Structure 1
Amino acid sequence: MARDIEGTTPPQTPSRRQDAGKAPKCTGSRCLVLMAVCTGLICVLLLVFIILQHIFITAERDLLKNYKDAVQVFNQTINRLQDTYSDLMTENDQLKDRLNYLNDDLKKAYEQGFQWGSGWFFISNVSKSWSESRQYCRDRGADLVIINTEVKQSFITSVISGNERLWIGLSDIIQEGKMKWVDNSPLKQG
């Protein structure tokens, strides 16, 4: 039985009606367990966040490294292409100079040029021997003409005037009396 101490009032127990709208209060050990669980959940969430952040940072670092490598390869390719372009432009200029030189040389050496089929025939205005004429042609990647068809014969006859003398690619230089073209094919009669 409870005894009242003078000047103190015994603790009042709230009635059920007074507690009806209030949340129940945690009692000692239940509160501690709930706080520990919440703290544990927060720690787990923080750990997951740290792991995800590490994964994303690592992936971003790898992506950045790949990007830097790609940029480096791209820059090296650009440098090689620029060098190749410079070399090609230099070669192009040299070829243009050579072409101009050859054109000037052709203008000096040839009086007339005629296209026939896929080839060209040039008639020089400089008198030379058969051997000199052939060498002159060979120095320019050509040779004296081989007349192996009547059509070609008619064409050549049509482009020369009656008093011009021409060397053609036919001789008996290898064996006297046996005529051969400069490609070693024999002369065919008729």
Structure 2
Amino acid sequence: MDLEDIYENVENDDIKDITGPQTQNHSQDGGKDGKCRGRRCLVLMTVCLGLICVLLLVFITLQHITITAERDLLKSYKNTVEEFNHTIISLQDNYTDLRSEKDQLKNKFSSLSQKKLELETELRKLYELGKDRFFISSELKSWSESRQYCRDRGADLVIINTKEKQQFISSLVKERVWIGLSDIETEGIMKWVDNSPLKQG
């Protein structure tokens, strides 16, 4: 028996009209609904997967940007650290050089201080010697004429009885000059003009 025959045998036309087609439509709608739900789920799953892929792509891109930025920052820090290290090494070298220079200057200062003391002592000695007045004539004369020239002016030829006095007189004259030493009285015995003997050559 066909489904149509069953429906024809039913007496109540209203029931037939109401229930027959509804049952058939209901089963057809149920299949359509299942198909629609399946399609909707598939579309929804595809959209969700697409969104997840987009989010993953954004996340990966952000991670790449962040890693690149961190790598650049790390490079910058490394360069800065290297520059600081070079600066520190340079400053240490400069410090060592300055300490060495300071020590050299200290030694030079000590040496100059010592020379200053020596020069002050020498100056005092020369000052004492300078109390005697010396006259150096530019005229060419013999020893006797030179002595007479000095005596006419209330002086005499110079007597050199200390090393300091000899150095002082040597610093004053550049050419040969007469001094108050001779062997006029006794040949071979040198005496000063004040008759004191020559103690050192």
Give TM-score scaled by structure 1 length: 0.48
Choose between structure 1 and 2: higher helix proportion.
2
Give TM-score scaled by structure 2 length: 0.46
Choose between structure 1 and 2: higher strand proportion.
1
